[in-house]
Structure formats: C-alpha cells, structure tokens
Amino acid sequence: QVQLVESGGGSVQDGGSLRLSCSVSQYNPKTTGWTAWFRQAPGKEREGIAAISPGDTITYYADSVKGRFTISRDKADGTVLLQMDDLRPSDTAMYYCATDPAVTDWSQRAIFRRETYTHWGQGTQVTVSS
C-alpha cells in the first residue's frame, strides 16, 4: 500500500515562499504514476493545482498558481516537491498530494479530477496573512 506524507506547510506573510514535500513510500521510478497537489480551503471544493507525469516529462498547473508554483520530483527517492513563491492570502488552504499508478487519461482536466487518484496524504496546512 502506497503511503504519502506531506510536510513543509506553515504560516507566511503575503509575498512569501514555502516548499512543500510529499514523500512516497515504495517509490519505483518504473511504476510510479501521476502525482498531483490539491488544495482545499474552508467551505470550498478540493482543487487540483499542480501535477507531474510519470517520467517527469509533463507538468500541469492551474491558472491560479501558474508562474508562482513549481512542481518537481526528486529522482533519488521519488519525493514530489511544490515550490510556492509570491504566496497570497487566497492560497490559504490545506494542501494534499495524491498519486495513482494507473491513470489512462492524461488530459489536464482528468489529472485535476479528485476521482483520478486512489492514494492520498493527510495534508499540510498553508496560511498566508496579509
């Protein structure tokens, strides 16, 4: 059973930066699938914001974070990183990582669907104050 553990959340001022990490147990570069970051603010739906493909050849970003957030993968241990710069109060949310080894639809719409993923972490809180 794949286990995901997020870390790196915290409280920052408007314009600040944070780097989130998602450690993936049983990482195997030959079988790993899409890994995505989602976030959920109070009273809102969970939304996909960044994702990276098997082989790290494709990345997707939601319009709300494009140009400010960068997703990457540490090839040594499979940890998926989310570098978040120029943070805004609207970025305040619980951030989750998710992965699935059997994604067949590689469209951005499918990759950012919550139902695409079978493995989820517990989340890490990000709070941005003005």
pLDDT digits (tens, 9 = 90+) for 25-45: 988 888 889 999 999 999 999
Residue 70's identity, in one-letter code, is T
Cα distance from N-terminal residue to C-terminal residue, the chain: 40
d(CA 108, CA 112): 6
Mean pLDDT, residues 75-93 taken together: 97
- Spatial neighbors of 42 by CB under 8 A, at least 6 apart, are none
Number of H helices and E strands in the chain, helices first, is 1, 11
Tracing tokens 């990759």 back to the chain, one arrives at 111
Between CA 57 and CA 65, with CA 61 as vertex, the angle to 5 degrees is 140
pLDDT at 28 (0 to 100): 87
Mean pLDDT, residues 11-22 taken together: 98
